[in-house]
Amino acid sequence: MNVAGEAFEGERIAKRIARAGHCSRRAAEALIREGRVAVDGRTVDGPALNVTDDQRVTIDGEPLAAAEPVRLFRLHKPTGVVTTARDPEGRRTIDDLLRHSGTVLPRLMPIGRLDVNSEGLLLLTNDGGLKRRLELPATGWLRRYRVRVHGTVDPRALTALERGIEIDGIRYGSIKARLDRQLASNAWLAVGLTEGKNREVRRVLEHLGLQVSRLIRTAYGPFQLGALEPRMVEEITGKVVREQLGGKLLAGLLEPESGRREKRVRKPE
């Protein structure tokens, strides 16, 4: 399908496929390259095509389902679970948790990550656009953690982290950290950051001579872990999403409230 001269209306074909819950945007682009996607009966020859609501999209000859409204979920990720769909080492993944949740869920993507040894709040969405927006450092959302460390904490070293720090050639931005409780051999810290590089909290604290033994994310922006139990997943209503995210982050994404109520899903055995 020749897309030269097409008007830039609607949305990219791969995004439409992803928002319908058929597969990820990257997988949709692969389907297009394989010649399996058609619009109004004409095979699409590349992903640089915008489609509108009145156009008929098919995959392998089957009509694409209507795009799903944007949905957002909270998951309490336990330790030992990998924040991926599949793991080559055979470890348990968040997809494993969701498959055994006891209810039908859309295809969900994590917003940000927690490493296998970390636990706490993980936001999930069915919309790749919202995922990318909420992961951007420019969003400025504070990620908050409770951290248990082995060692004696120097409060002055924690205060200095607000200026940022460079470790092994990697520059880490401002980190707000305070000592909550010092015990004989370990301590509890409260840590907040907006950037969230890979294993940032662990690496920075280890640089200060503190070994992290437990790391719990308690908040991601305005959303709190609260009393959500490990392995539980809970949908956040569209009303709450609109109130917390505002029009700028949700522009062009969130459908009108459909009357859906917040839903808790039982934790898998």
* Catalytic residue annotation: 115
**HSE-CB for 247 with a 13 A CA cutoff:** 0
DSSP secondary structure of 84-127: SS--TT--EEHHHHHHTSSS-----EEES---TT-EEEEEEES-
Give dist(CA 26, CA 209) in Å, integer: 41
Helix (H, G, I), strand (E, B) or coil at 55: coil
Give dist(CA 178, CA 117) in Å, integer: 22
Residue pair 15/56 in contact (Cβ under 8 Å)? The answer is: no
Helix (H, G, I), strand (E, B) or coil at 178: strand
Handedness of CA 241, 125, 177, 169 (dihedral sign): negative
Helix, strand, coil distribution of the chain in percent, nearest 5: 25, 30, 45
